[in-house]
Chain A
Amino acid sequence: MGEAQKGLLSVVEKLKGTTEQEVRIVLLGLDNAGKTTLLKSLASEDVNTITPTQGFNIKSVASHGMKLNVWDIGGQRKIRAFWKKYLENTDLLIYVIDSADKKRFEETGLELSELIDEENLKGVPVLIFANKQDLATASPASEIAEGLNLHTYRDREWQIQACSAVSGEGVQDGMNWICNNIANRKKK
């Protein structure tokens, strides 16, 4: 972590007295994909009063002896230009897709591939949440994976996880993958 940061501030980073391992996770995806709902679901908070995010939300979740700092940044088109500013020192990317919004599969695929090409996300593992599986019209995760050409990703670990942020189903499975993945990386 933090190797990318140079100079004095990288020294400051080492000053933090925490023994706990901190992990920076960025949560992205189109508007209305369910990023904030997922974030709140991760933090075991109420998911019924969520409005479209105009800025960003941060939650710290303790899991597997690690402190996961999850940054959820608004997905509206005009905010997407700001995503880049949040990618530095990221340990893991979570990308959320509305599995029932077939009309925007192409758009979400484009945004994802742009992120994958970002220098700051080079080699950063990506977890894709195929969200809203509670809806009858949701596409299965396997279909979405195919549409996104995930199998062509050779430079990083990736995983697609079907979930419903509203019911919480599948969310923990995704988190387990994240923790295992990061624990493995740190060992190496």
Chain B
Amino acid sequence: MAEDDSEWVLESIVGFLGSPEWVIPVTDFMENKCTVFDDEEENKLSYTEIHQQYKNLVEKLLENYMQEVGINEQQFLYACTSPFAKSKTLQIVFQPVLATDDFQMFRSLMVQKNMELQLQALRVMKERNGELPECLTHGADVMTELQQQEMKILHQVLQKSKEEYEEEMSFRMLLDEENGSTSSSSSDKPFREKQASTSSQQDSTAKELPESEQDQLQQRATYLRQQRDRLHALKKEQQKSSYNSPPEEAPSSPTEISAEEKKRLQKRKHLAEKLKEEVIKK
């Protein structure tokens, strides 16, 4: 009896596997849980736990459906082992079901889902910002970029102080030349008086220049800070979208998180590249 039914049973099951009642919970599950699945050779212990949850979910969904429609397990088995079910297209449809029994298959589905989400995140970032942040396109990542910016500021500060120092030195030399004839051991007091009296005009410009420079510097610093904040926000957003349940919360120290972040970014980049390659190949 079961064999006669196999055709409509199979059709019905395939229909179910394409319906929102199946697709939504399964996709939700995968998108929520895929973030810990990377392409490292070694499996994490948490994969097993997630696989178990997946088995429970699929079992519940299928059982509910079969009960609803009135298919028993025997019919299900007949239908799914019939020649129809062995076609390539149907095998793909059945993949999420078979993944309950095949950890390796489950794992590859999850890794693939994770990559998809990451690529999606990259695309969204690109759309929003016109281009990807430096860290996701070339070798450098956010931290080194920040360091570079800080180095720039430092350079400017150093340069400024050097300029000031040279100015003062040349000024002193000028004074020394002027005072050279009077006495070699000129005390500080006459020197200061001289400085104030002889070059009042020069002094005012000298004072103004560093001030305007300082203004510029300050502007630059705030701009850079804003830039940095934006980058941070971006990173957070990206993390949120692709890491729904980040395994590590609340960074214990800034240096630690930076190293971790670096590693993660590198990995992500690697993944994205790999996926791109695969997609292009196909």
Q: Which residues of A contact B (CB under 8 A)?
A: 7-9, 11-17, 53-58, 60, 74, 79, 82, 85-86
Contact = CB atoms under 8 A, between A and B. Distances in A.
A9 B101 contact: yes
Given A9-B101, A58-B103, A58-B104, A14 B77 contact: yes
Interface residues of B, number: 30
Contacts of A14: 77, 81
Given A14-B81, A55-B47, A58-B104, A8 B42 contact: no
Interface in B27-71: 41-45, 47-48, 52, 55, 58-59, 62-63, 66
A15 B80 contact: yes
Given A9-B58, A15-B98, A55-B47, 6 more contacts: A15-B85, A54-B45, A56-B45, A58-B103, A79-B45, A82-B45
Contacts, number: 65
Nearest to A81: B45
Interface secondary structure of B, over-half rule: helix
Given A12-B97, A12-B98, A15-B94, A58 B45 contact: no
A10 to B, nearest CB: 9
Given A15-B80, A58-B104, A8 B62 contact: yes
A12 B76 CA distance: 9
A13 B99 CA distance: 10
Nearest to A86: B48
12 contacts: A8-B73, A9-B101, A11-B77, A12-B101, A15-B81, A15-B101, A53-B42, A55-B43, A57-B43, A58-B103, A58-B104, A85-B48
